Amino acid sequence: MTGVKNPRLALIFILVTVFIDILGLGIIVPVLPDLLEELTAEKVSSAAAYGGFLIAAYALMQFIFSPILGNLSDRFGRRPILLASLFGLTLDYLLMGFAPTIMWLFIGRIVAGIMGAAVSTATAYIADISEKEKRAQNFGLIGAAFGAGFIIGPAIGGQLGEIGTRVPFFAAAGIAFLNFVYGYFILPESLGMRKRRRFDAKRANPLGMLISLKKFPYILSFLAVLMCFSFALQSYQSIWSFFAKERFSWTSGQIGLSVSAFGVMFVVVQAILIRPAIKWFGETWSVAFGLCFAMIGYFGLAFVDTTIALYAFLVPGALGGLVVPSLNGIMSNGVTDNAQGELQGGVNAINSMTAFVAPIVLTQLFAYFSHSPNAPMYFPGVPFFASGLAIIVGVIIFSQAVVRAGLLSKPKLGNKDL
Protein backbone atom coordinates (compact mmCIF):
# COMPACT_ATOMS: atom_id res chain seq x y z
CA MET A 1 0.00 0.00 0.00
CA THR A 2 2.72 2.50 1.01
CA GLY A 3 6.27 2.76 2.19
CA VAL A 4 5.32 4.80 5.27
CA LYS A 5 6.42 2.82 8.32
CA ASN A 6 3.69 4.10 10.61
CA PRO A 7 0.53 5.02 8.62
CA ARG A 8 -1.39 6.05 11.74
CA LEU A 9 1.33 8.49 12.76
CA ALA A 10 1.57 9.76 9.19
CA LEU A 11 -2.19 10.32 9.18
CA ILE A 12 -1.87 12.43 12.31
CA PHE A 13 0.97 14.41 10.67
CA ILE A 14 -1.09 15.20 7.56
CA LEU A 15 -4.18 16.13 9.57
CA VAL A 16 -2.12 18.56 11.64
CA THR A 17 -0.81 20.02 8.38
CA VAL A 18 -4.34 20.59 7.07
CA PHE A 19 -5.49 21.94 10.44
CA ILE A 20 -2.74 24.56 10.64
CA ASP A 21 -3.24 25.44 6.97
CA ILE A 22 -6.95 26.15 7.52
CA LEU A 23 -6.24 27.81 10.87
CA GLY A 24 -4.23 30.44 9.01
CA LEU A 25 -7.02 30.94 6.49
CA GLY A 26 -9.71 31.12 9.17
CA ILE A 27 -7.84 33.85 11.02
CA ILE A 28 -8.32 36.36 8.18
CA VAL A 29 -12.03 35.67 7.45
CA PRO A 30 -13.57 38.01 10.08
CA VAL A 31 -11.47 41.05 9.09
CA LEU A 32 -11.69 40.79 5.31
CA PRO A 33 -14.81 43.04 5.01
CA ASP A 34 -13.15 45.75 7.15
CA LEU A 35 -9.90 45.55 5.16
CA LEU A 36 -11.74 45.83 1.85
CA GLU A 37 -13.75 48.79 3.16
CA GLU A 38 -10.46 50.38 4.24
CA LEU A 39 -8.75 49.89 0.86
CA THR A 40 -11.74 50.69 -1.37
CA ALA A 41 -13.43 53.37 0.77
CA GLU A 42 -16.81 51.79 -0.04
CA LYS A 43 -19.64 50.27 2.01
CA VAL A 44 -19.67 46.58 2.84
CA SER A 45 -22.29 45.70 0.21
CA SER A 46 -20.10 47.22 -2.52
CA ALA A 47 -16.83 45.98 -1.04
CA ALA A 48 -18.23 42.44 -1.19
CA ALA A 49 -17.98 42.59 -4.98
CA TYR A 50 -14.22 43.18 -4.68
CA GLY A 51 -14.07 40.27 -2.25
CA GLY A 52 -15.66 38.04 -4.86
CA PHE A 53 -13.04 38.92 -7.48
CA LEU A 54 -10.30 38.50 -4.88
CA ILE A 55 -11.42 34.95 -4.14
CA ALA A 56 -11.91 34.29 -7.86
CA ALA A 57 -8.30 35.27 -8.65
CA TYR A 58 -7.05 32.65 -6.19
CA ALA A 59 -9.46 30.05 -7.55
CA LEU A 60 -8.52 30.67 -11.19
CA MET A 61 -4.86 30.00 -10.43
CA GLN A 62 -5.79 26.83 -8.57
CA PHE A 63 -7.97 25.70 -11.46
CA ILE A 64 -5.05 26.08 -13.87
CA PHE A 65 -2.29 24.70 -11.64
CA SER A 66 -4.04 22.00 -9.57
CA PRO A 67 -3.89 19.36 -12.35
CA ILE A 68 -0.22 20.20 -12.86
CA LEU A 69 0.57 19.81 -9.18
CA GLY A 70 -1.57 16.68 -8.91
CA ASN A 71 0.35 15.05 -11.75
CA LEU A 72 3.65 16.26 -10.30
CA SER A 73 2.76 14.63 -6.99
CA ASP A 74 2.13 11.33 -8.84
CA ARG A 75 5.58 11.69 -10.41
CA PHE A 76 7.77 13.14 -7.65
CA GLY A 77 5.77 12.37 -4.49
CA ARG A 78 3.36 14.23 -2.20
CA ARG A 79 5.86 15.75 0.24
CA PRO A 80 7.58 18.33 -2.03
CA ILE A 81 4.24 19.60 -3.35
CA LEU A 82 2.89 20.04 0.18
CA LEU A 83 6.00 21.95 1.25
CA ALA A 84 5.87 24.24 -1.78
CA SER A 85 2.20 24.95 -1.07
CA LEU A 86 2.86 25.88 2.55
CA PHE A 87 5.70 28.21 1.62
CA GLY A 88 3.46 29.88 -0.96
CA LEU A 89 0.81 30.50 1.68
CA THR A 90 3.41 32.18 3.90
CA LEU A 91 4.23 34.63 1.11
CA ASP A 92 0.54 35.20 0.44
CA TYR A 93 -0.32 36.24 3.99
CA LEU A 94 2.70 38.54 4.20
CA LEU A 95 1.73 40.26 0.96
CA MET A 96 -1.83 40.73 2.17
CA GLY A 97 -0.66 42.01 5.54
CA PHE A 98 1.53 44.71 3.99
CA ALA A 99 -0.82 45.48 1.07
CA PRO A 100 -1.08 49.28 0.59
CA THR A 101 -3.67 48.91 -2.18
CA ILE A 102 -6.20 46.32 -3.26
CA MET A 103 -3.93 45.40 -6.20
CA TRP A 104 -1.43 43.91 -3.72
CA LEU A 105 -4.19 41.77 -2.28
CA PHE A 106 -4.75 40.34 -5.75
CA ILE A 107 -1.02 39.65 -6.19
CA GLY A 108 -0.96 37.81 -2.88
CA ARG A 109 -3.97 35.69 -3.83
CA ILE A 110 -2.44 34.85 -7.22
CA VAL A 111 0.76 33.63 -5.56
CA ALA A 112 -1.23 31.49 -3.12
CA GLY A 113 -3.41 30.13 -5.92
CA ILE A 114 -0.41 28.95 -7.92
CA MET A 115 1.15 27.24 -4.93
CA GLY A 116 -2.06 26.21 -3.16
CA ALA A 117 -2.25 22.43 -3.45
CA ALA A 118 -2.16 21.53 0.22
CA VAL A 119 -5.63 20.05 0.58
CA SER A 120 -5.77 18.05 -2.68
CA THR A 121 -2.27 16.68 -2.14
CA ALA A 122 -3.12 15.89 1.48
CA THR A 123 -6.15 13.95 0.27
CA ALA A 124 -3.97 11.97 -2.17
CA TYR A 125 -1.52 11.39 0.69
CA ILE A 126 -4.28 9.89 2.81
CA ALA A 127 -5.42 7.73 -0.12
CA ASP A 128 -1.83 6.42 -0.30
CA ILE A 129 -1.71 5.31 3.32
CA SER A 130 -5.33 4.09 3.75
CA GLU A 131 -6.97 0.77 3.00
CA LYS A 132 -9.74 1.16 0.40
CA GLU A 133 -12.53 0.41 2.84
CA LYS A 134 -11.25 3.10 5.22
CA ARG A 135 -10.59 5.89 2.72
CA ALA A 136 -13.97 7.62 3.05
CA GLN A 137 -13.70 7.67 6.85
CA ASN A 138 -10.16 9.04 6.68
CA PHE A 139 -11.24 11.63 4.12
CA GLY A 140 -13.79 12.66 6.73
CA LEU A 141 -10.92 13.36 9.12
CA ILE A 142 -9.61 15.91 6.62
CA GLY A 143 -12.98 17.62 6.83
CA ALA A 144 -12.74 17.47 10.61
CA ALA A 145 -9.30 19.09 10.50
CA PHE A 146 -10.85 21.72 8.24
CA GLY A 147 -13.61 22.33 10.74
CA ALA A 148 -11.22 22.46 13.68
CA GLY A 149 -9.19 25.10 11.86
CA PHE A 150 -12.33 27.12 11.32
CA ILE A 151 -13.32 26.76 14.97
CA ILE A 152 -10.13 28.23 16.33
CA GLY A 153 -9.00 30.42 13.41
CA PRO A 154 -11.97 32.81 13.13
CA ALA A 155 -12.26 33.12 16.91
CA ILE A 156 -8.60 34.16 17.08
CA GLY A 157 -8.88 36.32 13.96
CA GLY A 158 -11.95 38.11 15.24
CA GLN A 159 -10.16 39.07 18.44
CA LEU A 160 -6.94 40.03 16.64
CA GLY A 161 -9.05 42.08 14.23
CA GLU A 162 -10.16 44.22 17.15
CA ILE A 163 -6.50 45.24 17.50
CA GLY A 164 -6.02 46.00 13.80
CA THR A 165 -7.14 44.75 10.40
CA ARG A 166 -3.58 43.71 9.42
CA VAL A 167 -2.70 41.79 12.58
CA PRO A 168 -4.50 38.53 11.62
CA PHE A 169 -2.56 38.34 8.32
CA PHE A 170 0.80 38.46 10.06
CA ALA A 171 -0.37 35.83 12.52
CA ALA A 172 -1.48 33.63 9.61
CA ALA A 173 1.91 34.07 7.90
CA GLY A 174 3.69 32.93 11.06
CA ILE A 175 1.43 29.89 11.40
CA ALA A 176 1.91 28.90 7.73
CA PHE A 177 5.69 29.19 8.04
CA LEU A 178 5.75 27.09 11.21
CA ASN A 179 3.72 24.49 9.35
CA PHE A 180 6.26 24.54 6.51
CA VAL A 181 9.09 23.94 8.98
CA TYR A 182 7.06 21.21 10.67
CA GLY A 183 6.46 19.44 7.36
CA TYR A 184 10.07 19.76 6.27
CA PHE A 185 11.41 17.96 9.32
CA ILE A 186 8.53 15.61 10.22
CA LEU A 187 6.36 14.65 7.24
CA PRO A 188 7.43 11.41 5.49
CA GLU A 189 6.81 10.64 1.82
CA SER A 190 3.76 8.45 1.16
CA LEU A 191 4.11 7.47 -2.51
CA GLY A 192 6.72 4.78 -3.12
CA MET A 193 8.96 4.91 -6.18
CA ARG A 194 7.32 1.83 -7.73
CA LYS A 195 3.90 3.46 -7.72
CA ARG A 196 5.00 6.71 -9.34
CA ARG A 197 4.31 7.41 -12.99
CA ARG A 198 5.86 9.72 -15.52
CA PHE A 199 4.63 13.26 -15.86
CA ASP A 200 2.27 13.64 -18.83
CA ALA A 201 1.70 17.20 -20.01
CA LYS A 202 -1.50 16.16 -21.81
CA ARG A 203 -2.99 15.11 -18.48
CA ALA A 204 -1.59 18.07 -16.53
CA ASN A 205 -4.27 20.58 -17.52
CA PRO A 206 -7.96 20.83 -16.59
CA LEU A 207 -9.28 19.62 -19.96
CA GLY A 208 -6.68 16.87 -20.27
CA MET A 209 -7.40 15.78 -16.71
CA LEU A 210 -11.12 15.44 -17.42
CA ILE A 211 -10.45 13.48 -20.61
CA SER A 212 -8.05 11.19 -18.74
CA LEU A 213 -10.50 10.56 -15.89
CA LYS A 214 -13.22 9.73 -18.40
CA LYS A 215 -11.79 6.21 -18.67
CA PHE A 216 -12.94 5.54 -15.11
CA PRO A 217 -16.71 4.79 -15.16
CA TYR A 218 -19.04 7.54 -13.88
CA ILE A 219 -16.21 9.63 -12.34
CA LEU A 220 -17.19 12.66 -14.43
CA SER A 221 -20.80 12.46 -13.20
CA PHE A 222 -19.65 12.37 -9.58
CA LEU A 223 -17.31 15.29 -10.27
CA ALA A 224 -20.34 17.20 -11.58
CA VAL A 225 -22.13 16.52 -8.28
CA LEU A 226 -19.05 17.79 -6.45
CA MET A 227 -19.10 20.89 -8.63
CA CYS A 228 -22.71 21.68 -7.63
CA PHE A 229 -21.97 21.12 -3.95
CA SER A 230 -18.75 23.13 -4.10
CA PHE A 231 -20.57 26.02 -5.80
CA ALA A 232 -23.09 26.09 -2.97
CA LEU A 233 -20.41 25.78 -0.28
CA GLN A 234 -18.79 28.95 -1.57
CA SER A 235 -21.70 30.94 -0.15
CA TYR A 236 -20.28 30.33 3.34
CA GLN A 237 -16.75 31.28 2.35
CA SER A 238 -17.43 34.27 0.10
CA ILE A 239 -20.63 35.75 1.53
CA TRP A 240 -20.94 34.86 5.21
CA SER A 241 -18.98 37.72 6.75
CA PHE A 242 -20.55 40.29 4.40
CA PHE A 243 -24.06 38.87 4.94
CA ALA A 244 -23.68 38.90 8.73
CA LYS A 245 -22.44 42.48 8.72
CA GLU A 246 -25.15 43.68 6.32
CA ARG A 247 -28.09 41.76 7.78
CA PHE A 248 -27.24 41.85 11.50
CA SER A 249 -24.54 44.58 11.79
CA TRP A 250 -22.14 42.15 13.44
CA THR A 251 -18.59 43.06 14.43
CA SER A 252 -15.54 41.04 13.34
CA GLY A 253 -15.59 39.33 16.74
CA GLN A 254 -19.20 38.22 16.34
CA ILE A 255 -18.52 37.01 12.80
CA GLY A 256 -15.53 35.03 14.05
CA LEU A 257 -17.60 33.34 16.76
CA SER A 258 -20.36 32.39 14.29
CA VAL A 259 -17.85 30.83 11.90
CA SER A 260 -16.30 28.98 14.85
CA ALA A 261 -19.75 27.67 15.84
CA PHE A 262 -20.22 26.30 12.34
CA GLY A 263 -16.76 24.77 12.56
CA VAL A 264 -17.72 22.93 15.77
CA MET A 265 -20.75 21.43 14.04
CA PHE A 266 -18.68 20.54 10.99
CA VAL A 267 -16.08 18.75 13.11
CA VAL A 268 -18.77 16.74 14.89
CA VAL A 269 -20.17 15.61 11.53
CA GLN A 270 -16.87 14.72 9.87
CA ALA A 271 -14.94 13.41 12.87
CA ILE A 272 -17.75 11.59 14.69
CA LEU A 273 -20.86 11.11 12.52
CA ILE A 274 -19.21 10.21 9.20
CA ARG A 275 -17.99 6.79 10.38
CA PRO A 276 -21.32 5.46 11.68
CA ALA A 277 -23.13 7.08 8.72
CA ILE A 278 -20.99 5.17 6.21
CA LYS A 279 -21.15 1.98 8.28
CA TRP A 280 -24.94 2.07 8.64
CA PHE A 281 -26.03 3.61 5.35
CA GLY A 282 -23.04 3.24 3.01
CA GLU A 283 -21.25 5.94 1.04
CA THR A 284 -24.02 6.37 -1.56
CA TRP A 285 -26.80 7.10 0.94
CA SER A 286 -24.48 9.24 3.06
CA VAL A 287 -24.00 11.50 0.03
CA ALA A 288 -27.77 11.57 -0.59
CA PHE A 289 -28.61 12.46 3.02
CA GLY A 290 -25.87 15.10 3.11
CA LEU A 291 -27.19 16.79 -0.03
CA CYS A 292 -30.72 16.92 1.42
CA PHE A 293 -29.52 18.41 4.71
CA ALA A 294 -27.40 20.99 2.85
CA MET A 295 -30.40 22.03 0.74
CA ILE A 296 -32.48 22.65 3.88
CA GLY A 297 -29.68 24.70 5.40
CA TYR A 298 -29.19 26.96 2.36
CA PHE A 299 -32.86 27.70 1.75
CA GLY A 300 -33.32 28.36 5.47
CA LEU A 301 -30.41 30.82 5.65
CA ALA A 302 -31.78 32.69 2.64
CA PHE A 303 -34.77 33.88 4.66
CA VAL A 304 -33.50 34.18 8.26
CA ASP A 305 -34.30 37.38 10.13
CA THR A 306 -33.13 36.50 13.63
CA THR A 307 -29.84 35.33 15.09
CA ILE A 308 -31.49 32.24 16.60
CA ALA A 309 -32.85 31.17 13.20
CA LEU A 310 -29.47 31.74 11.60
CA TYR A 311 -27.71 29.44 14.05
CA ALA A 312 -30.53 26.88 13.76
CA PHE A 313 -30.10 26.53 10.00
CA LEU A 314 -26.35 26.13 10.40
CA VAL A 315 -27.09 22.66 11.83
CA PRO A 316 -28.44 21.06 8.61
CA GLY A 317 -25.79 23.05 6.74
CA ALA A 318 -23.10 21.33 8.78
CA LEU A 319 -24.73 17.93 8.19
CA GLY A 320 -24.02 18.57 4.53
CA GLY A 321 -20.47 17.71 5.57
CA LEU A 322 -21.38 14.07 4.90
CA VAL A 323 -21.19 14.73 1.15
CA VAL A 324 -17.53 15.35 0.32
CA PRO A 325 -15.79 12.49 2.22
CA SER A 326 -18.40 9.98 1.09
CA LEU A 327 -18.27 11.17 -2.52
CA ASN A 328 -14.48 11.23 -2.39
CA GLY A 329 -14.52 7.66 -1.13
CA ILE A 330 -16.71 6.54 -4.03
CA MET A 331 -14.43 8.22 -6.57
CA SER A 332 -11.14 7.18 -4.94
CA ASN A 333 -12.18 3.53 -4.94
CA GLY A 334 -13.00 3.86 -8.63
CA VAL A 335 -9.49 4.76 -9.83
CA THR A 336 -6.09 3.05 -9.69
CA ASP A 337 -3.43 3.74 -7.04
CA ASN A 338 -1.17 5.67 -9.41
CA ALA A 339 -4.06 7.95 -10.42
CA GLN A 340 -4.96 9.12 -6.90
CA GLY A 341 -2.95 12.33 -7.25
CA GLU A 342 -4.48 12.96 -10.65
CA LEU A 343 -7.99 12.38 -9.26
CA GLN A 344 -7.42 14.69 -6.30
CA GLY A 345 -5.86 17.25 -8.64
CA GLY A 346 -9.05 16.96 -10.65
CA VAL A 347 -11.17 17.32 -7.51
CA ASN A 348 -9.22 20.41 -6.55
CA ALA A 349 -9.55 21.77 -10.10
CA ILE A 350 -13.34 21.35 -9.89
CA ASN A 351 -13.35 23.05 -6.48
CA SER A 352 -11.17 25.82 -7.89
CA MET A 353 -13.39 26.29 -10.94
CA THR A 354 -16.45 26.72 -8.72
CA ALA A 355 -14.43 28.89 -6.35
CA PHE A 356 -13.65 31.10 -9.35
CA VAL A 357 -17.22 31.33 -10.66
CA ALA A 358 -19.28 31.17 -7.47
CA PRO A 359 -17.77 34.11 -5.52
CA ILE A 360 -18.22 36.41 -8.52
CA VAL A 361 -21.81 35.29 -9.07
CA LEU A 362 -22.75 35.20 -5.38
CA THR A 363 -21.11 38.48 -4.38
CA GLN A 364 -22.64 40.25 -7.37
CA LEU A 365 -26.05 38.88 -6.43
CA PHE A 366 -25.48 39.99 -2.85
CA ALA A 367 -24.35 43.49 -3.88
CA TYR A 368 -27.26 43.91 -6.30
CA PHE A 369 -30.02 42.76 -3.95
CA SER A 370 -28.50 44.56 -0.94
CA HIS A 371 -27.39 47.87 -2.44
CA SER A 372 -28.68 48.52 -5.97
CA PRO A 373 -31.70 50.86 -6.26
CA ASN A 374 -32.73 48.87 -9.35
CA ALA A 375 -33.16 45.61 -7.41
CA PRO A 376 -36.77 44.35 -7.32
CA MET A 377 -36.46 43.71 -3.58
CA TYR A 378 -34.06 43.85 -0.64
CA PHE A 379 -32.88 40.24 -0.38
CA PRO A 380 -29.33 39.85 1.07
CA GLY A 381 -29.96 36.11 1.48
CA VAL A 382 -30.19 35.55 -2.29
CA PRO A 383 -26.72 33.87 -2.51
CA PHE A 384 -27.93 31.14 -0.14
CA PHE A 385 -31.10 30.71 -2.21
CA ALA A 386 -28.97 30.28 -5.34
CA SER A 387 -26.86 27.72 -3.45
CA GLY A 388 -29.96 25.73 -2.59
CA LEU A 389 -30.86 25.61 -6.29
CA ALA A 390 -27.35 24.31 -7.08
CA ILE A 391 -27.84 21.49 -4.57
CA ILE A 392 -31.08 20.48 -6.29
CA VAL A 393 -29.16 20.12 -9.57
CA GLY A 394 -26.56 18.02 -7.74
CA VAL A 395 -29.26 15.72 -6.36
CA ILE A 396 -30.63 15.11 -9.86
CA ILE A 397 -27.20 14.29 -11.32
CA PHE A 398 -26.26 12.06 -8.39
CA SER A 399 -29.48 10.06 -8.47
CA GLN A 400 -29.03 9.37 -12.18
CA ALA A 401 -25.35 8.45 -11.79
CA VAL A 402 -25.80 5.95 -8.95
CA VAL A 403 -28.60 4.19 -10.84
CA ARG A 404 -26.44 3.84 -13.96
CA ALA A 405 -23.42 2.76 -11.89
CA GLY A 406 -25.45 0.15 -9.98
CA LEU A 407 -24.61 1.77 -6.64
CA LEU A 408 -28.19 2.31 -5.53
CA SER A 409 -29.41 -0.06 -2.83
CA LYS A 410 -31.50 0.11 0.31
CA PRO A 411 -29.79 1.93 3.16
CA LYS A 412 -28.54 -0.49 5.77
CA LEU A 413 -28.37 -0.34 9.55
CA GLY A 414 -25.36 -2.46 10.43
CA ASN A 415 -25.87 -5.64 8.44
CA LYS A 416 -29.65 -5.51 8.29
CA ASP A 417 -31.72 -3.82 5.62
CA LEU A 418 -33.95 -1.05 6.91
- Domain contains 397: yes
* Position 417 confidence tier, pLDDT thresholds 50, 70, 90: very low
Residue 2 located in a structural domain: no
- The residues that bridge with 413 in the sheet, in sequence order, are 416
pLDDT computed for residue 310 by the predictor: 92
**Separation of alpha carbons 181 and 57, rounded Å:** 27
Neighbour-count burial for 142-176, b at 16+ CB within 10 Å, e otherwise: bbbbbbbbbbbbbbbbbbbbeeebbbbbbbbbebb
Asked if residue 1 is part of any domain, the answer here is: no
Q: Which tens digit of pLDDT belongs to each residue from 266-282?
A: 778 877 888 899 888 88
Q: Which H or E element spans position 232? A: helix 219-248
**Res 2 pLDDT > 60:** no
Which pLDDT belongs to residue 418? 37
Query: What are φ and ψ of residue 417, in 5° steps?
Result: -65, 140
Q: Is residue 115 part of a domain?
A: yes
Whether residue 195 lies inside any domain: the answer is no
Position 281 in a domain = yes
- CA–CA separation, 219 and 383 (whole Å): 28
In a domain, 379, yes or no: yes
- Structural domain including 122 reads 7-189+201-417
pLDDT for position 221? 87
Average pLDDT over residues 298-324: 93
Concatenating the DSSP letter of every residue in 339-394 gives GHHHHHHHHHHHHHHHHHHHHHHHHHHHHHHHH-TT-SS--TTHHHHHHHHHHHHH
Task: Encode pLDDT of 344-360 as tens digits.
Answer: 767 777 877 887 888 88
| Distance (Å) of CA 16 to CA 8, 177, 317 | 13, 14, 25
CATH of the domain at 333: 1.20.1250.20
Q: How confident is the model at residue 301 (pLDDT cuts 50, 70, 90)?
A: very high
Q: Please tell me the total count of domains within the chain.
A: 1
| Report field, pTM of the whole predicted structure over 0.75 | no
Whether 288 maps to a domain, the answer reads yes
Q: What is the rounded average pLDDT of the residues 40-68?
A: 75
Of 295, 282, 366, the closest CA to residue 43 belongs to 366
Q: What is the pLDDT of residue 65?
A: 77
Would you call 1 helix, strand, or coil by DSSP?
Answer: coil
Between 31 and 210, residue with greater pLDDT: 31
Composition of the chain by helix, strand, coil, percent to 5: 80, 0, 15
* Range with top average pLDDT, 137-151, 196-210, 221-235, 290-304: 290-304
d(CA 15, CA 8): 11
> What is the average pLDDT score of the chain?
80
What is the structure's pLDDT at 324? 86
pLDDT at 45: 66
pLDDT over 70 at 3, yes or no: no
Region 310-315 average pLDDT: 93
